[in-house]
Amino acid sequence: MPLLTANTPNDWKALQQEAAAILQECGFTVEIEKVLEATRGSAEIDIYAEETVSGRTYSIACECKHWTSRVPQTVIHAFRTVVSDLGVNVGYIISSSGFQSGAFSASELTNLRLLTWEEFQNEFCETWLEKHLEPTITDELGPILSYTEPLVPTWFTEVPDHEVPVLRSLRDKYTPFGILMMSFTRYARFLRPNGFPELPLRASLREPFSDPGAIPDSIVDATGYRDFLGHVMEYGREAIAEFDAVKERNSV
């Protein structure tokens, strides 16, 4: 599965912020550098996150290690004690350089997960797609889906004659984008038996989507879903603004 982002955090703070953002976008309530009271005193957690499902709270704690060397088992032993004392459901150690072999032995039969940055992204990718990408595109890009669908909005028929070519040109420009975005919405779930389209999209695009200039390169060449969503939202908001400008200047 493609990563959520092709960007690699360049320091500990960035790793912490990026991991926290992913958890928040997955629906967790997230706190950074939270101090919690444990059975053996207080402990500061790089990332503490909670999610409530059907009235039950699920909690996780994350330790972020942006080191040039692999994380040793001594770190796992220490974090295992903290996680146990706090009573969280699962603890993640996220390492930019991986782990020593002894670290994995130290985490066996525990509720610890030892993950690289890439593995952490994969751990939450499906949840992120369902809880963030799909609703964001569905809810925030709804207007462009309406403006480019075959049945045009009523206000399109109410603009002065000189604006008709403008709207036609906008529809020609943005219809490939609107159709493509529809495949990522909740309305198209039944059309995605194998999940969301894989990135990058360019290799699977057909006409008119593959026509030069039909959809920005930044969108069709994106290799990470978070990067893809960022480009999609920027372009989509620009498209909506162009249609809305026609509507507003004609007060329809």
Distance from C-alpha of 232 to C-alpha of 226, rounded to nearest angstrom: 10
What is the domain partition of the chain in residue ranges?
12-123, 141-250
Q: Are 92 and 120 in contact (CB under 8 A)?
A: yes
Name the pairing type of β-strands 29-38 and 41-53. antiparallel
Question: What pLDDT is attached to residue 68?
Answer: 94
What DSSP element (H or E) covers 232? helix 225-250
Question: What pLDDT is attached to residue 93?
Answer: 98
Question: What pLDDT is attached to residue 90?
Answer: 97
Q: Are 205 and 113 in contact (CB under 8 A)?
A: no
Which pTM value belongs to this model?
Answer: 0.92
The hierarchical CATH code for the domain 12-123 is 3.40.1350.10
Q: Would you tell me the crossing angle of helices 117-128 and 12-25 to the nearest 10 degrees?
A: 20
Question: What pLDDT is attached to residue 209?
Answer: 79
Distance, CA of 207 to chain centre: 27
Question: What pLDDT is attached to residue 135?
Answer: 97
Q: List the one residue out of 54, 113, 72 whose CA is nearest residue 89.
A: 113
pLDDT along the chain (252 residues), means of 10: 86 97 97 87 92 92 96 95 92 97 93 97 96 97 96 94 96 95 93 88 84 91 96 98 95 72
